Each structure stands twice: as structure tokens, then as C-alpha cells.
Structure 1
Amino acid sequence: MELSLTCDVAKTFSLAAQQNAYSLFKSIVLRAGEADPGAASSVAREIRVTLTTVPEIIAPETWLIDRLESAQSTKLQERPLKPDYSMLAGLTEEQLVTIRLSCRYLDQQGQEQRLQDEFETRVLPAD
């Protein structure tokens, strides 16, 4: 069983959007794949999903999930982001930002597994 991440991210983001509580993410969903036909349900345990950006315009954020069984999904809890206000205020032109979601978990056999997905957004200058 493998896990996958789906992220519905805004196409653009700005200091004004952050100050007006417009979210950068509409949702982040973690999904567990189907178990092999005829096999018992699989479980992923000790799941850690970490969000980072390149360049770092938002402080890293981590979600911990105890377990996810095959064919289950969970929407990660919405949290207030911690942006680098000085960087956002200092932008003079649009900047492409990569949002990286990394996931580490233990599979059914206790082996550590990793996955990573990247999304892009454009950060607009304050003025």
C-alpha cells in the first residue's frame, strides 16, 4: 500500500491575501492506496507530513497522523501559516515559489517509507 498527497493550492499568494485570511491551501489530503486483491487491509503508521517552501516564505509546518488504513483518506487540519512578513513586504516583483509536501511513515512491515510532492504558486509583491 502506498500513500499519496493531493493539494489544492491557490495560483497566487500575497501579503494582502495573508492579512485578509485568504488561505494558500483549500485542502491537503493524504490518501492510502487500495490493498492488493485478496490481501488483508494494510496500515501505515506514525505518519509525518511536512510542508516547506522554496524559497522559505512560510515557516515549515508538520502534521502527525497515527495511522491510515488502505483505501482511507484524511484531510489535514487547516492551520494558520507563519509567513516571513519581511520577505513578503520586500518583494518588488512576482516570484515563483515551490511548495514541497514530504511524508514519512512506517508500512505494514515496519519499514520507513517516504514520498514527496511539489506544487507551485506565484507570490505577488505587496504593492
Structure 2
Amino acid sequence: MPLARYALLALLCLTPLGAMASEGGEETAQAPTGPVISYYALEPDIITNYLSDSKTLGYIRTTIELMAESEADKKLLEANDPLIRDAIIRLLGSKTGEQIKSLATREELRKECEAKANELLLKETGKKAIKELIFTKFLYQ
């Protein structure tokens, strides 16, 4: 008799958990309603030279992540990776040492890279696919 009581008690304790698990499964089956943010990393890191002063060259190494609002935009970024990399390398290489090293101008540089890449994407594909351009690593020497 005590064994039957324990089995009944165990059954009663597990019933609400089973009901909650089935409800949770129904919620996860629904599609998300908002935009799905995706990130695309420009691999490998971007490395280029810049004019440190009138006589010497410096170099910059940066890791860049591109934020896209959908998987389709992420695939668009992936397909146009060489175009985006070239634009960023040219832009970084045209800056002076003061512009590269300054924290104040780094944000301007990030926005400028984002705008240039989106401008080229618009010409090439008809869509601005970059929501945000993020420097995840920014090293210079």
C-alpha cells in the first residue's frame, strides 16, 4: 500500500510539469514577430597602412561586424564582401595618424565606413543592407 501512495504522489507531482512542457512547445513553434537581427563578420581582419606623419607609415588592424535586419540582408552582405572590404580598406588608408588614433574621430570614421559601404551596396544591389557597422577590434601602430 505505501508503494501505491508514492506512485500516486509522483504522478500528481509530474502532471503539472508535463502540462507546462506541452504549453512551452506550442509557444516555440510560433514564428518571431519582430525583425531578426543577424551579424556578418568580415573575415579575415582588415589590415592596411595609413600615413602616420609626413615620413612614416603606420598600420591599422580592425575586426568588423556588420548588422543586418534579416537573413536575406546577411546573404547580400556575404555576396558583396569583397566590395565592402575594398571600400573600408581605401577609406582607412586615406586617413592620417591623428584621425586613426583619436577616439572622437573613430566614431566619425565608423559612420563614414558604414555610409560608404551602404552607398556602394545601394548602387550594386539596390538596397542598403547594413544597419550598423561595428568595430569589434581596432588596433593601430
Q: Which has the larger radius of gyration?
A: 2
- TM-score of the aligned structures, taking structure 2 as reference length: 0.29
Structure with the higher fraction of residues in helix conformation: 2
Higher RCO (CA < 8 A, seq sep 6+): 1
Structure with the higher fraction of residues in strand conformation: 1
- TM-score of the aligned structures, taking structure 1 as reference length: 0.31
